[in-house]
């Protein structure tokens, strides 16, 4: 017969002929227990291989020391970097990280949030799904006073902590850079316009055009889901315009890559004939030929910041809600650098 059960504080108490309360206090370094007893208890706990059952303690304390993170896709570099940053901070603070992916599906996101709630996460970090959605499930969390931190893709009308990058500025600088390189008909592969970050990027683009007195041609903006298939499709369509563009500001690196491959296969020269820029600095964008100009979004740091904010909120250190706008960095690479400056 296998004895599978773990020692509990009661077992320790029994061996030492003391009460479980004393053991509990001793292990938590409560000063009400004499140092001598504390040492004795700790020694025995070690010897018996005692490990506190966090389920029990969490139940009693009405907290789980767990934070949830929900991302659209786990295996996208940006998101996995964020997760990595969250894990880094959480682990150091003694929090467990539970993870789930919405696959950009509204329904799955709702289920995840409900399930995390039922599991009593102490707080939640989320970047919302692309698919349009009500945010009742998130408002529910707010109502239950479960701290919530948005990153990257936020819900504007929910008042809570948010960590975003300066999409407007990034898009503005990208566009300005293309203009500086002498490109004039700049197309924009925009993301779904229900997400603020894509709206901001579009606005940054428009603002840069305006500032440089370039007339805006609506046919140069295509709003897509930013997959490589849709990216290729969009570029094809744009190239068939009576006046095709001479540069592509793509909503992410994936579409920038597909644009590049499509144009290259058509025998077009990049950056001489066409400029291409992406967004997010996926690892591949640096190593493809030509390398892709892009915007760095510091995923790991975003994750760290999000976790710090959330944990601060959980431990009730923070006061009012913050929106942290991290600065972005423009990395000029070959795909748009035709003046070699």
Partner DNA sequence: AGGAGATGTGCAATCGATTGCATTTTTATT
Partner DNA sequence: AATAAAAATGCAATCGATTGCACATCTCCT
Distance CA 136, CA 153 (A): 16
H-state helical runs in 93-219: 106-118, 136-143, 167-180, 196-211
Binding-site member from 1, 46, 55, 319 for its own copies (CB under 8 A):
55
Report, in Å, the least distance between residue 118 CB and its own copies.
5
What are the structure tokens assigned to 42, written together? Answer: 């700790």
Distance CA 60, CA 203 (A): 50
Choice between 77 and 166, CB closer to its own copies: 77
Report, in Å, the least distance between residue 288 CB and DNA.
52
CA 317, 323, 325, 326 torsion-angle sign: positive
Report, in Å, the least distance between residue 199 CB and DNA.
41
Q: Which of 308, 298, 304, 332 is nearest to 165 (CA)?
A: 298
Binding-site member from 8, 42, 77, 330 for its own copies (CB under 8 A):
77
287 binds, among DNA, its own copies, none (CB under 5 to 8 A by kind): its own copies
33 binds, among DNA, its own copies, none (CB under 5 to 8 A by kind): DNA
Instruction: Write out 196-260 in H/E/C secondary structure.
Output: HHHHHHHHHHHHHHHHCCCCCCHHHEEECCCCHHHHHHHHHHHHCCCCCCCEEEECCHHHHHHHH
Stretch of 130-138, 203-211, 241-249, 276-284 contacting its own copies, by CB under 8 A: 276-284
283 binds, among DNA, its own copies, none (CB under 5 to 8 A by kind): its own copies
Where on the chain is the footprint of its own copies (CB under 8 A)? 2, 4, 6, 51-56, 58-59, 64, 66, 73-77, 80-81, 83-84, 87-88, 91, 96-101, 112, 114-120, 144-145, 257, 261, 282-284, 287-289, 299-300
């Amino acid at each position: 017969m296998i004895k599978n059960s773990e020692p509990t504080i009661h077992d320790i108490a029994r061996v030492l002929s003391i009460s479980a309360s004393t053991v509990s206090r001793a292990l938590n370094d409560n000063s009400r227990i004499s140092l001598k007893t504390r040492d004795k208890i700790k020694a025995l706990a070690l010897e018996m291989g005692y490990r506190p059952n966090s389920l029990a303690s969490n139940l009693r304390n009405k907290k789980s020391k767990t934070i949830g993170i929900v991302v659209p896709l786990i295996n996208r570099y940006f998101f996995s970097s964020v997760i990595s940053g969250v894990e880094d901070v959480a682990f150091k603070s003694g929090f467990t990280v539970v993870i789930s992916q919405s696959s950009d599906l509204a329904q799955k996101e709702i289920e995840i949030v409900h399930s995390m709630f039922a599991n009593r996460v102490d707080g939640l970090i989320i970047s919302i799904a692309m698919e349009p959605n009500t945010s009742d499930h998130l408002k529910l969390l707010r109502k239950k006073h479960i701290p919530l931190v948005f990153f990257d893709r936020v819900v504007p009308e929910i008042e809570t902590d948010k960590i975003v990058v300066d999409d407007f500025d990034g898009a503005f600088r990208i566009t300005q850079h293309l203009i500086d390189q002498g490109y004039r008909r700049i197309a924009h592969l925009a993301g779904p316009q229900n997400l603020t970050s894509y709206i901001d990027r579009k606005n940054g683009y428009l603002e840069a055009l305006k500032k440089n007195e370039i007339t805006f041609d609506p046919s140069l903006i295509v709003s897509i889901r930013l997959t490589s298939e849709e990216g290729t499709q969009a570029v094809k369509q744009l190239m068939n315009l009576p006046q095709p563009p001479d540069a592509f500001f793509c909503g992410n690196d994936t579409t920038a890559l597909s644009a590049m491959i499509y144009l290259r296969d058509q025998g077009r020269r990049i950056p001489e004939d066409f400029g291409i820029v992406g967004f997010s600095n996926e690892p591949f964008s640096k190593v493809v030929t030509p390398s892709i100009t892009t915007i760095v979004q510091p995923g790991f740091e975003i994750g760290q910041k999000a976790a710090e904010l959330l944990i601060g909120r959980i431990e009730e250190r923070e006061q009012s809600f913050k929106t942290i706008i991290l600065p972005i960095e423009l990395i000029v690479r070959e795909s748009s650098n035709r003046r070699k400056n």
